[in-house]
Amino acid sequence: MDNIVNLLNLLKSGDFKTIGRCITIVENDLPGSDDLLTAISINKNVPIVGITGPPGAGKSSLVNGLLGELLAEGKRIGILAVDPTSPFNLGSILGDRVRMSAHFNNPNVYIRSIATRGSLGGLSAKIIEITDIMRSANFDLIIVETVGVGQSEIEIVGLADITVLVLVPEAGDEIQQLKSGVMEIADVFAINKADRPGADVYLKNLYSLLHTASPDKKQPQVVKTIATKNEGIKELLAACRIMLSHQHRQLKTYLLAEKAYKLIQNERMKTVNKVDLKAAIELAYMNEDFNLYAFVKAFISKSHF
């Protein structure tokens, strides 16, 4: 218990080594993880901004630009960069921080790369716990950059206070995009690489379609950016602040309900080991009458849900 109290004190002070240690404890379910999570004092006023969008849209470059603006204001920023985990060798490159090298050694910036570990929604299985650790560590803002898996990447809405969707002019048919879940969750649209042909037409069509899709709803902010030239970054930050200021209690409780659901889901799944599951399937698959649904039913009956 003394060790937990010491960790909490150092965590509250914003000590980077302690933040890293606490994240490792929680991410890997090490001894003391539950005690740590139930004892932390979470600052619910620290906003979480999610940055999502397809691979190659320039998410990391935009985060770099936002960091520059926020650091100029004297803000203390925490960055979580989620990298995909291979479903075959279970490894992850964890290389997003390389693209943020301009601010990597800044004493007011903490950057942590984490792996998805099989989560399919663009985030890590322990992302909720990790962000709460960081919200207990004296940051002014936390930015979560998701994997960039495309249309299915909607888990970020249950985690972030606002979501920035990064797109490029070549993103394709706007109508089809608006039908997809990832387009419906955005609070801010950043049309990056806006110096490319077709950017103005794309922007105009997007404005029109957004208003048609939800004319009575608070409209998302739409901003043109060129991250590599640091253009539009101030406007993007201003748009994020506008959307944060429009948050209300109902949305906050919705986000908390989404987080609680995910935490309960993760707790129920603790007894399911993917390595054991794969081994059991390999054995069962040798039978000619193998039936996946019958296998799952039998596997669940043997597990302690």
Answer yes or no: do 189 and 105 share one domain.
yes
Please give the residue that has the higher pLDDT: either 252 or 287. 287
Q: How many domains does the chain have?
A: 3
Answer yes or no: do 138 and 58 share one domain.
yes
Answer yes or no: do 16 and 57 share one domain.
no
Answer yes or no: do 221 and 90 share one domain.
yes
Answer yes or no: do 6 and 50 share one domain.
no
* 182 band by pLDDT with thresholds 50, 70 and 90: low
Mean pLDDT of 193-207: 87
Answer yes or no: do 290 and 190 share one domain.
no
Answer yes or no: do 233 and 280 share one domain.
no
* Containing structural domain, residue 16: 1-40
* 201, 171 Cβ separation under 8 angstroms: no
* 161, 255 Cβ separation under 8 angstroms: yes
**Local structure of residue 86 (DSSP, 8 states):** P
Proportion of the chain above pLDDT 70, given as a percent = 77
Please give the residue that has the higher pLDDT: either 154 or 211. 211
Which pLDDT value is given to residue 120? 42
Answer yes or no: do 7 and 47 share one domain.
no
Answer yes or no: do 211 and 289 share one domain.
no
For residue 68, pLDDT beyond 80 = yes
Return mean pLDDT, the chain: 81
Answer yes or no: do 11 and 75 share one domain.
no
Answer yes or no: do 57 and 26 share one domain.
no
For residue 282, pLDDT beyond 50 = yes
Mean pLDDT of 179-197: 81
Mean pLDDT of 158-163: 84
Phi first, then psi, for residue 89 (nearest 5°) are -105, 0
Residue 191's alpha-carbon distances to 187, 238, 242, in angstroms, are 13, 15, 17
**Local structure of residue 219 (DSSP, 8 states):** P
Answer yes or no: do 287 and 200 share one domain.
no
DSSP H/E element including 293: helix 292-302
The model's pTM = 0.81
Lowest-confidence region among 177-186, 242-251, 265-274: 177-186
